[in-house]
Amino acid sequence: MTQANLAYKTEPVTAEEYLTFERAAKDKHEFIGGKIVAMAGATDRHNVIASNVFGELWTQLKGTNCRAFASDMRVNAKRGNYFYPDIVVTCGERKFEDIKKKDVLVNPTVILEVLSKSTKLKDRNEKFESYILLESLTDYVLIEQDKIKIEHYSRIDEKNWNVRIYAAAGEEIIFESIKCKLSVADVYAKG
């Protein structure tokens, strides 16, 4: 089966087939439940918000053992799913599924997603349900792009998560796990 036909295959493909396909693809695809799913382009507002968050975190993480990555770092999110989070932070030694290729991160600490109409349900359901199985993950953040609303899920213990909603520009999101904070106003600046 050719690379192009693999994306349109109706029966499930393996993770290995997906990774081979994705590494040769010109466009990005996620892998959900055995299906290769093409990623849509993002809006200006989505990109501004993601850039604001990445810039703030990157600056605060300089000189620490944590690193922020923008939307091109693929994550093995358990349950056989592979995603490209908008922003992912990892601390300590970065661990990869394939240490030669170093293109699939397996130990994210913080994941942030900017929601869009087309991805909102996937970010809240499939992604969240897969991400919470990652032992390394301490924080999962969902950022609305059409209004000021940020949901910050922080791990309490192995099975429990706390959620805090931010809906005012004057609030600050505190990330204890990476010793960073984000001003809600800064998240939405120039949006």
- Kindly compute the dihedral angle of the four CA atoms of residues 108, 142, 166, 185, in this order, to the nearest 10 degrees: 90
> Structure pTM?
0.90
Taking only the tens place, the pLDDT of each residue in 129-183 is: 999 999 999 999 999 999 999 999 999 998 899 999 999 999 999 999 999 999 9
Give the rounded distance of the alpha carbon of 189 from its chain centre.
Answer: 21
Tell me: pLDDT of 7 over 70: no
Taking only the tens place, the pLDDT of each residue in 15-73 is: 999 999 999 998 999 999 899 998 887 889 999 999 999 999 999 999 999 999 998 89
> Which domains does the chain carry?
1-39 (no CATH), 42-187 (3.90.1570.10)
Q: CA–CA separation, 90 vs 178, rounded Å?
A: 9
Tell me: pLDDT of 1 over 80: no
Q: For the stretch 41-78, what's the b/e string if a residue is b when 16 or more beta carbons lie within 10 angstroms of its beta carbon?
A: ebeeebbbbbbbbbebbbebbeeeebbbbbbebbbbbb
Q: CA–CA separation, 98 vs 61, rounded Å?
A: 25
Q: CA–CA separation, 19 vs 36, rounded Å?
A: 10
21: closest CA among 6, 10, 37? Answer: 6
The token duo for 145 is 């792009």
Please tell me the predicted confidence (pLDDT) of residue 158.
87
